[in-house]
Amino acid sequence: MKTYRIAVIAGDGIGQEVIPAGIDVMKIAASQAGFTCDFTQFPWGSEFYLKNGRMLDADAVDQLMKFDAIYLGAIGDPRVADHISARELILPLRQRLRQYVNLRPMRLLPGITSPLAGRAAADIDMVCVRENSEGEYCGIGGRLHAGTPDELAEQTGIFTRRGIERIARYAFTFARTRPRKMLASATKSNALQHAMVMWDEVVGEVAKDFPDIEYRKYHVDALAARMITAPQTLDVIVASNLFGDILTDVGSAISGSLGVGPSGNINPDRTTPSMFEPIHGSAPDIAGKGIANPIAAIWAGAMMLDHFGERAAHDGILKAIEGVIGNAKVRTPDLGGTAKTADMTKAVTAAMVAR
């Protein structure tokens, strides 16, 4: 039987609560589809940092290279500054494992009421292809004259032709798999006259190879507004690292809850393991209460199985999620109900067994 080796970094806060839910669901999907998943837990995260002074083992990347994929919960703890927890765990893994695509579906599941009144599931069905390796999050810059009135900080954005071209090509190719075959590029070339003008040029050149895709560029502020005023006009969105980060929080908010949106950090070349995680963070405000919505983590697990080529297992999990959300009996507090993480997980696993 085919076995996939999966490294699990549940991480902090509700990461510890939603990842076990996703693992339960993937085990059922695997047994139904005739493969197995072998999960190996790693203790990395803020707790590990407080004990050892580092977020990851020094040889973490070498350890992770032995796996087919990585399943990540969330990283972030009130006792550790966010720039440490993010910059020393998530961003280095994304960069060193060459996961240059960040793929983020944003869908209003049937049965969830969108904060945009009167919108139905057909109106909100977008996927963001976010550049995940350079741009505004490249980490280049520094601080000078710290703590003095002359203090200054510089944060540089790096955009390369190679980086823009490969993310654009991935996005256009992905748009081909979608019924509407549309691609919107997020730019800001009116104000960022170097980087975003080059972004527009390179994306425009790639567009010529995809005449079957309806391509348009939007300034990112107008695009953010359009996601709210006319979400039905958007399908696939390609965006830089920072723009994609912001737009996908808008997308998951209009889909009903941050507790629903999944994400894949993908190396399409498959020379390193890709990493799948919910979009949300560690949610310290609800951590430990057992009320986190596990749907985002479960859906991220389904994306991981799809990445392995296990399309049927992915579809089975999505059907179960849609069934549970659709019949509206089980709702965690973020969706207006009183159910616990465990209730929601049980409902999804029951829906899978009942198929």
310 binds Mg ion (CB under 5 A): no
- In this structure, the strands spanning 262-266 and 274-278 are antiparallel
DSSP state, residue 65:
T
Q: Which of 17, 77, 131, 245 binds Mg ion (CB under 5 A)?
A: 245
Q: Which of 265, 274, 282, 349 binds ligand NAI (CB under 6 A)?
A: 282
Q: Of residues 24, 77, 125, 245, which has the active-site annotation?
A: 245
Active site residue 170: no
Per-residue interface string for the shown chain with ligand NAI, residues 64-93, x marking contact by CB under 6 A: ----------xxx-----x---x---x---
Q: Report whether 303 contacts 314 (CB < 8 A).
A: yes
45 vs 261 by CB, closer to Mg ion: 261
17 binds Mg ion (CB under 5 A): no
The per-residue DSSP string of 161-188 comes to HHHHHHHHHHHHHHHHTSSS-EEEEEE-
Q: Report whether 347 contacts 340 (CB < 8 A).
A: no
Per-residue interface string for the shown chain with Mg ion, residues 196-235, x marking contact by CB under 5 A: ----------------------------------------
Q: Of residues 71, 100, 137, 218, which has the active-site annotation?
A: 137
Q: Rule CB under 6 A: which of 17-36 touch ligand NAI?
A: 18
280 binds ligand NAI (CB under 6 A): yes
277 binds Mg ion (CB under 5 A): no
User: How far is 168 from 265, CA to CA, in rounded Å?
Assistant: 16
Q: Rule CB under 6 A: which of 302-321 touch ligand NAI?
A: none
75 vs 127 by CB, closer to ligand NAI: 75
Q: Of residues 57, 68, 221, 315, which has the active-site annotation?
A: 221
Question: Identity (one letter) of the amino acid at 183?
Answer: L
Q: Which of 254, 292, 300, 352 binds ligand NAI (CB under 6 A)?
A: 292
User: How far is 73 from 191, CA to CA, in rounded Å?
Assistant: 36
Q: Of residues 12, 49, 125, 188, which has the active-site annotation?
A: 188
Instruction: For residue 333, count other CB atoms closer than 10 A to its CB.
Output: 16
281 binds ligand NAI (CB under 6 A): yes
Structure tokens at 65: 């290279």
94 vs 166 by CB, closer to ligand NAI: 94
User: How far is 286 from 308, CA to CA, in rounded Å?
Assistant: 33
293 binds ligand NAI (CB under 6 A): yes
User: How far is 343 from 294, CA to CA, in rounded Å?
Assistant: 10
- Per DSSP, helices labelled H in the chain are 15-33, 46-52, 60-64, 82-85, 91-96, 161-176, 195-207, 220-229, 241-254, 295-307, 311-327, 341-354
26 vs 30 by CB, closer to ligand NAI: 26
Q: At 65, give phi and psi (nearest 5°).
A: -60, -20
Least separation in angstroms between CB 263 and Mg ion: 9
Residues noted as catalytic:
137, 188, 221, 245, 249
Q: Which stretches of the chain bind ligand NAI, using CB under 6 A?
A: 14, 18, 74-76, 82, 86, 90, 258-259, 277, 280-286, 292-293, 296, 332, 334
